[in-house]
Chain A
Amino acid sequence: MANIIEIKGLTKTYHNKKALNNVTLTIEKGKVVGILGPNGSGKTTLIKILAGILRPTGGEVFIDGNRPGVTTKSIISYLPDRNFLYDWMNIQDAINFFKDFYADFDENRAYELLDFMKLDKNMKVDSLSKGMMEKLNLSLVLSRNAKVYILDEPIAGVDPVARDQILDAIINNYNEESTMIITTHLVRDMENIFDEVIFLKEGEVYLLGNAEALREERNMKIDDLYKEIFGA
């Protein structure tokens, strides 16, 4: 199957601190990929490079055959790890904002997702709880017909009910034509939705592989493997 993402020898340095060191990996089209690691392991840096927000210090990145830039941004739908909407907006404003910005935005899907998330389009952005905000941001990001969805910590800090809704929305939105890349340190809650997992440790790829094959090979859950790799 075709690779949608190819990364070769990727390095990112902030001043003299190496956030990513010689990362090489490929991601196949149609897969749900988990990028796993504790805070500071380089997950967000890697994702920001894919999203075209940060520039690599060294190495090569190809997304659907192109280097990160205008073309790749148009096929990537990116959920940052913090809210990206303005306080003065209500939810309808946020939808209009996305509609203006992205040619691939499916307004009807946005309304369906909001309905599923039990969010009203008249609610003001600055009145939303953390969980509601996450659900709104995710609904908008999933309403684009993108080739690649990149979700940075989609369930961090939300209550169990919101977490289940978010997982359902991710699973329901999955299709063979798109690829999902999801970072998380909440491995137990998310491991069942991954085809592939990539363990990042101190800016390097420590281990990667098919989630089921790893379970079979190591005779443990991905969550336990995570604890073994990153535990004291």
Chain B
Amino acid sequence: MLFNENLPIYIQIMNLIKKQIVKGELRGGDKLPSVRDLSTELKVNPNTIQRSYHELEREGLVYTQRGMGTFVTEDEEIIKDLKQKMASNLVNSFIEDMKSLGFSLEDIFSIINKKIKEG
């Protein structure tokens, strides 16, 4: 896997896992791949994967069970929050981009409305 964004790799891997959780590909209680396995799969330094897991744990999205591995949180609220946060990030960056192109909020609103009506 090639990482293209100019972001630290550990953040890109966190985003990858967050997307899988939001899409339901990873469900509450599911086990994440071992650090070693994901490291080989993505061809990334194991320390980097470890850091991604650690940061995800700090955000409460996963938990570690000693000797068992890392698991997705079973707390539905946290997952719902994550979904909201990701949506609002997308919308924010969309609005920023549109504003930088010179569109007002009303313009943006009517463009979206039109798009929705067109289906």
Residues of A within 8 A of B (CB): 31-32, 164, 167-168, 171-172, 174, 192-195, 211-213, 215-216, 219-221, 224
Interface residues in B1-33 by Cβ distance below 8 A to A read 3-4, 6-10
Residues of chain A lying within 8 A (CB to CB) of residue B6: 215, 219-221, 224
Residues of chain B lying within 8 A (CB to CB) of residue A213: 8
- Contact for A194 among B39, B40, B45, CB less than 8 A: B45
Count A/B pairs, Cβ under 8 Å. 50
Q: Which residue of A lies closest to B45 (CB)?
A: A193
> Are A192's CB and B40's CB within 8 A?
no
Give chain A nearest CB distance to B51 CB in angstroms: 8
- Contact for B8 among A193, A195, A212, CB less than 8 A: A212
Complex Cα–Cα for A195 and B10 (A): 12
> If A32-B45, A164-B43, A172-B40 touch, does A192 touch B9 (CB 8 Å cutoff)?
yes
Residues of B within 8 A of A (CB): 3-4, 6-10, 36, 39-40, 42-48, 51
- Contact for B43 among A171, A212, A220, CB less than 8 A: A171
18 pairs across A/B with beta carbons < 8 Å?
A168-B43, A171-B40, A171-B45, A172-B40, A174-B45, A174-B46, A192-B3, A192-B44, A192-B48, A194-B45, A211-B9, A212-B10, A212-B48, A215-B7, A215-B9, A216-B7, A221-B3, A221-B4
Q: Which 5 A-B pairs have the closest CB atoms?
A: A212-B8, A192-B44, A215-B8, A220-B6, A193-B45
Residues of chain A lying within 8 A (CB to CB) of residue B8: 212-213, 215-216
Complex Cα–Cα for A213 and B3 (A): 16
Give chain A nearest CB distance to B52 CB in angstroms: 10
Residues of chain A lying within 8 A (CB to CB) of residue B48: 192, 195, 212
